[in-house]
Amino acid sequence: MLLDMFMTFFKVGAFTIGGGYAMIPIIQEEVVEKKSWIEEEEFLDIIAVAQGSPGPVAINTSIFVGYRLKGLRGAITCMLATALPSFLIILLIAMVFFQHRNNPVVEKVFFGIRPAVVALIGSAVYKMYRSSRIKGMRLLIAILSTAIIVFTNISPIYLILAGGIGAILYYRNKERDVQS
Amino acid sequence: MSNILKLFLSFFKIGAFSFGGGYAMLPLMKETVIDIHGWMTNSEFIDILAISEMTPGPIAINMATFLGYRVSGILGSIVATLSVILPSFIVMSLIFYFVNKFKNSPYSDYFFRGIRPIVLGLIASAAISVAMDAYVDLKSVIISLIIFYLVAFKKLNAIYAIILAGLMGLMVY
């Protein structure tokens, strides 16, 4: 069983390109549909927990699925299996890449690629803005946090803590007002 | 402090404070590896980011493996990779053993409602800071606009976007 779990999550880790969110449908297909290890509904709960916790969402999901199937040993197995393919591939690239980084052809290619990275992050901002319906006060908070990061040395950690704790206080008071 | 210990603490911190997916953690990652420790230059950071887009796995793990290797070889890459996923492991273990207490709490709901706009802001700032290094002339701005249009409006896949941009770089530089 542990070996089967390892192989499954290794495959998930090896074949999903483009960040953690791309892995979720693949994990779902393997774990819910093919192997029937976990019910659809429970899987959706796991995703919600994984998204709401720090760290890469694919790693969180695999840890939780591992726990559900085989306890602590399962959690460690699935976690390492998910991380291993990307670890091995990047290690290989790291060993080779920096020897060729000053090659003129590689340099030209990366002059083109760097602005594309801006475009990819920019389109993630655009899509998130469109889908999350952040507006009014919350949009102002988003713009302010951008400005703080760009223009000051304040660590993003403080912004995350301020946003999270501020929201807890704000919504708790709001709920009290509604009740009273 | 030895480099291994620094790698452990840095990537543990990055893992612990990364909410909202890979891009949202870029400002923290940049602060830690460039501003605090000077482990790499801005353009190296962007290049690794580009490589992460084309290789499997979460960006955080790719970054950790790459940087760990640069700073302290294979041992460094193992330490950095494990440190970045350790907070996940701790938090998911706590949730697994105390799941019912978490599920009913409205506070975690409030927390995430609160950080969502911050996450959007963090990702936007990542785009700006990458742009400051990636936009070296008018040609690079044009490449960026073309790729943005194709990805945001024509649903071009990230891997093809990077290959296309690499070809454009080869042609115009």
Q: Does B160 touch chain A (CB under 8 A)?
A: no
Query: What local confidence, expressed as pLDDT, does residue A13 receive?
Result: 86
Q: Does A47 touch chain B (CB under 8 A)?
A: no
- Put simply, the answer to whether B115 touches A58 (Cβ < 8 Å) is no
Same domain for B83 and B150, yes or no, is: no
Higher model confidence: residue A98 or residue B4? B4
Q: Does A158 touch chain B (CB under 8 A)?
A: no
Residues of chain B with pLDDT under 50: none
Would the pTM count as exceeding 0.90? Answer: no
Q: Which residues contact A6 (CB under 8 A, 6 or more apart)?
A: A77, A78, A80, A81
Rounded CA-CA distance B19/B15 in Å is: 9
Chain A residues in contact with B54 (beta carbon < 8 A): 17
Same domain for B169 and B118, yes or no, is: no
Q: Does B9 touch chain A (CB under 8 A)?
A: no
Chain A neighbours among B 17-76 (CB < 8 Å)? 17-19, 21-23, 26-28, 31, 35, 43-44, 46-47, 49-62, 65-66, 69-70, 74
CB B8 within 8 A of CB B106: no
Rounded CA-CA distance B103/A164 in Å is: 17
| Tokens 């549909």 sit on residue | A33
Same domain for A88 and A10, yes or no, is: yes
Residue of A nearest to B29 (CA): A156
- Put simply, the answer to whether B135 touches A118 (Cβ < 8 Å) is yes
- Put simply, the answer to whether B122 touches A156 (Cβ < 8 Å) is yes
Angle at B40 between CA B79 and CA B121, to 5 degrees: 90
DSSP B114-172: HHHHHHHHHHHHHHHHHHHHH--SHHHHHHHHHHHHHHHHH---HHHHHHHHHHHHHHH
Angle at B87 between CA A34 and CA A124, to 5 degrees: 70
pLDDT tens profile A9-64: 998 888 777 666 677 888 888 899 999 999 888 888 888 788 878 888 889 999 99
- Put simply, the answer to whether B46 touches A20 (Cβ < 8 Å) is no
Q: Does B138 touch chain A (CB under 8 A)?
A: no
Using the 3D structure, point to which of A80, A100, A120 is the last residue of a domain: A100
Same domain for A54 and A121, yes or no, is: no
Please tell me the distance in Å from B147's CA to the nearest CA on chain A: 6
Compute φ and ψ for A96, nearest 5 degrees. Answer: -95, -40
Same domain for B56 and B119, yes or no, is: yes
Rounded CA-CA distance B129/B99 in Å is: 39
Mean pLDDT of A51-78: 91
Rounded CA-CA distance A53/B103 in Å is: 12
Query: What local confidence, expressed as pLDDT, does residue A87 receive?
Result: 94
Same domain for A7 and A96, yes or no, is: yes
Rounded CA-CA distance A61/A142 in Å is: 28
Query: What local confidence, expressed as pLDDT, does residue A20 receive?
Result: 62
CB B39 within 8 A of CB A94: no
Same domain for B83 and B8, yes or no, is: yes
Same domain for A78 and A129, yes or no, is: no
Query: What local confidence, expressed as pLDDT, does residue A132 receive?
Result: 80
Same domain for B61 and B81, yes or no, is: yes
ipTM: 0.84
Domain range for A144 is 104-179
pLDDT tens profile A133-168: 888 899 999 999 999 999 998 888 899 899 989 999
Query: What local confidence, expressed as pLDDT, does residue A69 receive?
Result: 93
Same domain for B150 and B126, yes or no, is: no
Domain range for B156 is 135-173
